[in-house]
Amino acid sequence: MDSTPVARLRDLKIRLSVDEVTQIVQRLRNGESIYQITNPDGSHAKDTVRKIRGLLETGQLDFVVDTQHEQTVAQAAVAGAKEIGGDHWSSDAAAPGGLERTIQTVLADLPEVEWDVGALRAGGLETEQALSLMLQHDELEQRKAEWKPADLRKYVEDHLLVDYLLRYQDRLQKPPVWAAKLAAQAKAEGMVDNNRVLREIGDNVIRYQVWHGGPYREAFEQAQTVTTRSARAQKSRYGHRIDYYIGGGTGETFMPLLPMSEQG
């Protein structure tokens, strides 16, 4: 059975090239809406983008995300510690065993958190959200030996989300779930991809309490001086998402904040 990315896309009834699907996936992950991707300049049919979004949300396009990540690592390694967002990739990042070393390094840097439903509810999650998040965590733990880059990012993201919610639960101005989620996403991506800018974005979402908007949001914007195009793009990406939620957005533009139970 042909398991190449092209063949797997054909099995999913997607006729676009791998590069085209990767670009759409990246734009969806960056927070762009279907309309933005399919406007007159977008060149892609609305039904196609909607289908890709659905497949992405259900995990059926994880192989595209993993392929994109592996290509990025390999290209950076060949370039010899090419700068990405202020940090440098290790020259052996694409060598055999590179992912295993990354997993060990990243997990060693994670804070300790309490994984039980009572603690998660105390942190601000609804019961269904807390249970679903715990099930996802346990499922990832059980197949740790089979992890791909996307699994590591998700594990770290969930871990940091719980840390943010629990660490600040007794403070007067604790972060809402959406802010903790965005902070966890940014920092997890930064830790796994060795990207200093993303790690700082994650921390600063909480430190500057961006959910209050106004001067808090402006201070967050001024907190980082970025010089590379990649760093500016990442800062703009998360700034757009922060503004969306501050403006009253509920999350429909982006992937679901938390995995939800399929039961009604």
What is the Cα–Cα distance from 40 to 52, expressed in whole angstroms?
19
Same domain? 90 vs 188: yes
3-state SS assignment for residue 242:
helix
Provide the strand spans (E) within the chain. Answer: 83-84, 87-88
Sole residue written with tokens 């996802």: 136
Same domain, 104 and 141: yes
Q: What is the pLDDT of residues 85-101, one digit of tens each?
A: 334 333 333 334 578 88
3-class secondary-structure state, position 230: helix
208-233 pLDDT, tens per residue?
A: 999 999 999 999 988 876 767 777 88
Is residue 25 included in any domain, yes or no?
yes
Residues 36 and 120 in one domain: no
Do 28 and 92 share a structural domain?
no
AA identity, residue 198: L
Token representation of residue 159: 């871990």
The whole-model pTM stands at 0.61
Mean pLDDT of the chain: 77
Query: What's the CA gap between 122 and 87, in Å, rounded?
Result: 36
DSSP 110: S
Q: Specify the 3-state DSSP secondary structure of 246.
A: helix
pLDDT on residue 247: 84
Same domain assignment for residues 53 and 89: no
SS (H, E, C) 91-143: CCCCCCCHHHHHHHHHHHCCCCCCCCHHHHHHCCCCHHHHHHHHHHHHHHHHC
Which phi and psi angles does 222 have, rounded to 5°? Answer: -85, -10
Average pLDDT estimate for 104-116: 89
Could you tell me if residue 64 is inside a domain? no
**What's the pLDDT tens digit per position in 6-55?**
788 888 888 887 778 887 887 787 667 787 777 555 567 888 888 988 88
Rg, C-alpha atoms of the chain: 19
Task: Show contacts of 37-44: CB within 8 Å, 24+ apart.
Answer: 44/16, 44/20
How far is the CA of 113 from the CAs of 5, 154, 204, 248, in angstroms?
37, 16, 20, 30
* Residue 40 domain boundaries: 5-57
Q: Is 264 part of any domain?
A: no
Tokens for 207, please give them.
């430190």
Residues 148 and 190 in one domain: yes
